[in-house]
Amino acid sequence: MQLMLSGVTYAYPSATEPIINNLTMTFPCGWTALLGDNGCGKTTLARIACGELTPDAGFVTGGLFCAYVAQDADEPPAGLVNFALDYGREARLLRETFHIEDDMPWRFHELSFGERKKLQVAAALWSHPDVLVADEPTNHLDADARSELVAALGRYRGVGILVSHDRELVDLLASRCASFESGRVVVRPGGYTAAHAQAERERATVVTERAEARRELARLSVEKDARAHEAARADALRSKGRVNPKDHDAKARIDLARFTGKDGHAGRLSAQMDARLSAARERLAAAYVHKRYDGDLWVDSSLSPRKTVLHVPAARIACGPGGTLEVPELWLGNTDHVGVVGPNGAGKSTLLAYLRTLVADDLTVLDVPQELATDARDAAVGRVTRLGSAERGRVLSTVAQLNSDPDRILEGRRTSPGELRKLLLAEGILRHPALIVMDEPTNHLDLHSTEALERALAAFPGALLLVSHDHAFLSACTSRTWEVRDGRVREL
């Protein structure tokens, strides 16, 4: 069994160019990872492959049952009710694997995004699809849930398409990688580490070829100039206009040169040089090295004159169905960088929602939530579109420094979740925030964008409050840690 795409082209209605253009590729059984920067077309290709989108041209193998695990977890997945009502062996195994309690499918919107993600994956696997698309499946998941996910997806034996920026996950699952590079898709064997190493070897070869082509072009240019000069001198020597009318021997020599063709030899050599130069230019153009812009973003802050920007009195707050979260007295200084950690469902987002209610009204806050509903996404894009040219230019410049194409970022339906996060951050920077609050900031972001954001937040001079399962990211950006676990919050 395999899934084939032939000559597939797709363009969003608001786009000037297709995001997928005349693509032909085959997905065999096993996991194929789609790699590339935010907005390059990975999710679009995955949705076309499983029938969520219809291409403008080309065809996709029909007759296969497909399941799609979406990036966001706003709505219950297809088949969730049937999965919840099934108490057969496989349904029970999936519930045990992901630690899904019987009531969780029925209160989907009360769950944490990590718990929702587990339900998405479990319901998709339960349906026994021929083709399974997992789009950023580790978003929102803690370490234990990630292990559960790897085990469950590793048992899948159909055609798997994995869209992920999680290098470890790709290494564990994928047998090959399809990378979006400069408007084309390049397939390489192995997981992320093997495919990336192969790409670096190819890049080094192209860099060497480009340097050699540049040197050859320079050498031929010098040679052409010398030959052109020689041809001009020979033409001047063979001109009878400069010969004494009575010098019959000189005239005879010129006539002999013309008769034997020697007078055109330099000109023919010059024409040959033109052809060689043209070939050298084509060789140089063919040795194209894709450049990536990894900017250093500076997030300016209007440092709060108050030494404490957030005081949290000791309290017990509602958390989940019938549960509570015990919060001790906490302080956040005007330059403190705090990371909030804890397992899925422990109450991190509940804590963050409670903290938002305690922020002073006069404090400038940049708050980027974990997920945005569709209407909120449209509103964010609309706000940036309505900005003056100078401010809009600053926003798009920031987006570029976070490794996304500013010419594409406002094209409505093409704005990916990763690009939207960058847009929200860039828009918020205009206000010179004293406090930045971000819930799972690395979700949806490609590797280079994550690194750029990490550098920016680490250097942010104001107060920072981050909720994340990415401990390496938090180690780089924060100096204090609040842990949410077993119904209570404590500072580590």
User: Is residue 297 domain-resident?
Assistant: no
Give the DSSP H/E element, type plus range, for residue 74. Answer: none
Torsion of CA 148, 466, 107, 326, to 10 degrees: 100
**pLDDT at residue 263 tops 60:** no
Task: Output the CA torsion sign for 380, 386, 388, 390.
Answer: positive
Name residue 61's amino acid.
Answer: T
Instruction: Please give the structure tokens belonging to residue 236.
Output: 């001047």
Percentage of the chain surpassing pLDDT 90? Answer: 35
Could you tell me the residue range of the domain that residue 34 belongs to? Answer: 2-182
Please tell me whether residues 457 and 380 are part of one structural domain. Answer: yes
Please tell me whether residues 350 and 462 are part of one structural domain. Answer: yes
Which of the two residues, 480 and 287, has the higher pLDDT score? 480
Q: Which of 237, 254, 286 is the last residue of a domain?
A: 286
Please tell me whether residues 177 and 229 are part of one structural domain. Answer: no
Q: How many domains does the chain have?
A: 3
Average pLDDT of span 367-393: 80
**pLDDT at residue 336 tops 90:** yes
Average pLDDT of span 253-268: 53
Q: Which of 224, 254, 286 is the last residue of a domain?
A: 286
Q: Which of 182, 213, 236 is the last residue of a domain?
A: 182
User: Is residue 299 domain-resident?
Assistant: no
Average pLDDT of span 25-41: 89
pTM of the predicted structure, to 2 decimals: 0.66
Which of the two residues, 410 and 469, has the higher pLDDT score? 469
pLDDT band at 289 (very low <50, low <70, confident <90, very high): very low
Please tell me whether residues 173 and 248 are part of one structural domain. Answer: no
User: Is residue 192 domain-resident?
Assistant: no
pLDDT in tens, 212-234: 777 777 777 777 677 666 666 65
pLDDT band at 447 (very low <50, low <70, confident <90, very high): confident
Please tell me whether residues 258 and 370 are part of one structural domain. Answer: no
Q: Which residue has the tokens 């050498």?
A: 219
Please tell me whether residues 164 and 22 are part of one structural domain. Answer: yes
Buried b (16+ CB within 10 A) or exposed e, 443-458: bbbbbbbbbbbbbbbe
Average model confidence (pLDDT) across the chain: 82
CA neighbor of 177 nearest in space, from 73, 292, 297, 32: 32
Please tell me whether residues 71 and 141 are part of one structural domain. Answer: yes
CATH at 90: 3.40.50.300
Please tell me whether residues 157 and 231 are part of one structural domain. Answer: no
Rounded to an integer, what distance in angstroms lies between the CA atom of residue 179 and that of residue 184?
Answer: 8
Please tell me whether residues 73 and 178 are part of one structural domain. Answer: yes
pLDDT in tens, 57-87: 999 998 899 999 998 888 899 899 999 999 9
Please tell me whether residues 217 and 84 are part of one structural domain. Answer: no
Percentage of the chain surpassing pLDDT 70? Answer: 82
